[in-house]
Structure 1
Amino acid sequence: MNKKIDDLWQARQFIKGSIRNEFVARVVRSRLGFAWIVLYPLAQVAIYAFVLSALMSAKLPGLQIAYAYPIYLTAGILAWSLFSEVVGRCLNVFIENGNLLKKMAFPRLALPVVVVGSAVANNTLLFLSVLLVFTILGHFPALSLLWLPVVTLILLLLALGLGLSLGLLNVFFRDVGQLVNMALQFGFWLTPIVYTLDLLPPVYQRILHVNPMTGIVQSYQAVLVFGRAPEWQILLYPALFGIAVLALAAFIYRRAIDEVVDVL
């Protein structure tokens, strides 16, 4: 493991350059690059808010301000967009870079690290835009924001572990990609983003807590919506789950990475 970390450190210029090139290609060289990063998730917020705002605003008694439900929605979509981007892009990262893997000598783990770095850069732009919108709406979380990097780190552990494991399997079984895309669609609705958890009976609340993203999204909502620290009890399970899937990804990587290059 130490050798892998050393290899990644030696390849840091390649990683930074790749992240910078992706950012430039998406934002600087595209007339609407920045706008698409921000507008797509905010369009989701606008659609769900238009349909459900009258119903859901009354379910947020702890947030007695105007536009309570759109603020609640935005916090959940901010978390989900980062998670789904890392998982979705890791799913095909080895397939899309097959020629690079065969022609260049570099740490293969650098590819998912580039995916994470690029996703974090995009999500940071979205986060800054969200803060601006919150400020315009008269809502600013202030000191509770200090907890957000901790919650985001747990989210990234989970997303990278799942994405890397599934990305390696997808090289050998291409149906994995289709199944994961479908699972992400279900996962969005099985996470309390559009609705609050207390709308459901207790038995369904317990079932939804099996989904590790539930605790992470609730923590984003605690920080960004209610201006308080996340509850460590609901973050413990996602943190342990994230460590477990990252360990699984490391195991699969050690066993299969050479075969991945051969298959590609």
Structure 2
Amino acid sequence: MLPLDSRQRSLVWELTKRDVLGRYRGASFGVLWSLISPFLMLMVYTLAFGFILKSRWPGTSGSTQDFALILFAGLSVHGFFAECLTRAPQLILSNVNYVKRVVFPLQMLSWSMMLSAAFHLSMNLLVLLLLKWVWHGEIYWTVALLPLVMLPMLALAVAVSWLVSALAVYFRDVGQFVGVLAAAMLFLSSAIVPVDSVPESYRWVFHLNPLTLIIDQVREVVIWGRTPNWGALVVYGVGVLIFAWVSYRVFDRLRRGFADVL
């Protein structure tokens, strides 16, 4: 990942703030919806999966509350990555003025988009922790490790955004493909079902999904109060750094033709 100087950090902060506030502009409750929405969604998951479908997570107490929390943790991680993935194709296409009229560090758009999505992810996780405290009466100390668990995923979101946003300028079909990819990454990860419940011959698909490891480690530190698999996270992080370097090189090479295409 590329380090940001003070001017770039200030720019990213302003873009992120504009993105977050713009989403709730005109709403009566404003930014409070960032807390209200995940709370309502958690209630919907509890009702639909817990009481109506009576789904239970293997290896747990079997309570509806446990299943809702486990499911919500996985869906929150997927929701963050899916937002970054599906918004990436329009990052350059919807900011033509930045390409043609001004000297603008276009790579910063990916940072601001990721931080905006990370803000909503943090609100989801805050609701998750509040409900865990209300239902179980405790929050494990391992929650403090959550930023370290999520860090590789944040970097991956930026790297994917660089690659997808650059390719989408030249191949507009990318925007149609990423929606299908985001849905596939949900059902082929441990967000909805534990990998151990999948037939062994298909588990490799779930393990190749970059969401599976992060979802599992978030549940480890938040739901079960265990320390994450540091070895797996280090390997994951190294892979993300290599991918980020490649993605930025591709972005930097393709950006030279953005003005001509747009």
TM over 0.5, yes or no? yes
**How far does residue 11 in structure 1 lie from its aligned partner after superposition?**
3.0
Q: TM-score, with normalisation over the residues of structure 1?
A: 0.87
Q: TM-score, with normalisation over the residues of structure 2?
A: 0.87
Is the Cα–Cα contact under 8 Å of residues 110 and 162 in structure 2 kept in the other structure?
Answer: yes
**How far does residue 138 in structure 1 lie from its aligned partner after superposition?**
2.0
Matches within 5 A, 1:176-215: 176-215=174-213
Q: 2: distance between equivalents of 1:213 and 1:9? A: 31
Aligned to 2:56: 57
What is the CA deviation profile of residues 152-192 of structure 1, one whole-angstrom value per residue up to 9, with x for unaligned ones?
11111222212220111011000011111111111100011
Q: 2: distance between equivalents of 1:70 and 1:208? A: 21
Aligned to 2:122: 124
- One-letter identity of the residue aligned with 2:7: Q
Aligned with 1:16 (options 13, 16, 26): 13
Matches within 5 A, 1:237-256: 237-256=235-254
**How far does residue 55 in structure 1 lie from its aligned partner after superposition?**
5.0
**How far does residue 126 in structure 1 lie from its aligned partner after superposition?**
2.3
Residues 139 and 173 from structure 1, CA distance in 2 versus in 1: closer, same or farther, beyond 3 angstroms?
farther
Is the Cα–Cα contact under 8 Å of residues 146 and 221 in structure 2 kept in the other structure?
Answer: yes
**How far does residue 202 in structure 1 lie from its aligned partner after superposition?**
2.2
What is the CA deviation profile of residues 218-257 of structure 1, one whole-angstrom value per residue up to 9, with x for unaligned ones?
1111111111111134434532432232122111112111
Percentage of identical aligned residues: 23
Deviates more, 1:74-83 or 1:39-48: 39-48
Matches within 5 A, 1:157-236: 157-236=155-234
**How far does residue 94 in structure 1 lie from its aligned partner after superposition?**
0.7
Q: 1: distance between equivalents of 2:184 and 2:57? A: 26
Q: 2: distance between equivalents of 1:128 and 1:52? A: 21
Q: 2: distance between equivalents of 1:245 and 1:58? A: 33
Aligned to 1:114: 112
Q: 1: distance between equivalents of 2:40 and 2:154? A: 24
**How far does residue 42 in structure 1 lie from its aligned partner after superposition?**
5.0
Residues 236 and 223 from structure 1, CA distance in 2 versus in 1: closer, same or farther, beyond 3 angstroms?
same
Q: How many matched pairs? A: 260
Q: 2: distance between equivalents of 1:195 and 1:45? A: 17
Q: 1: distance between equivalents of 2:56 and 2:115? A: 35
**Structure 1: which 5+ residue stretches go unaligned?**
none
**Structure 2: which 5+ residue stretches go unaligned?**
none
1:25 aligned onto 2:22: yes
Q: 2: distance between equivalents of 1:37 and 1:64? A: 29
Q: 2: distance between equivalents of 1:9 and 1:150? A: 23
**How far does residue 48 in structure 1 lie from its aligned partner after superposition?**
4.5
Q: 1: distance between equivalents of 2:6 and 2:77? A: 28
Please state whether the residue corresponding to 1:192 is helix, strand or coil: coil
RMSD: 2.5
**How far does residue 31 in structure 1 lie from its aligned partner after superposition?**
2.3
Q: 2: distance between equivalents of 1:24 and 1:212? A: 30
Q: 1: distance between equivalents of 2:206 and 2:233? A: 14
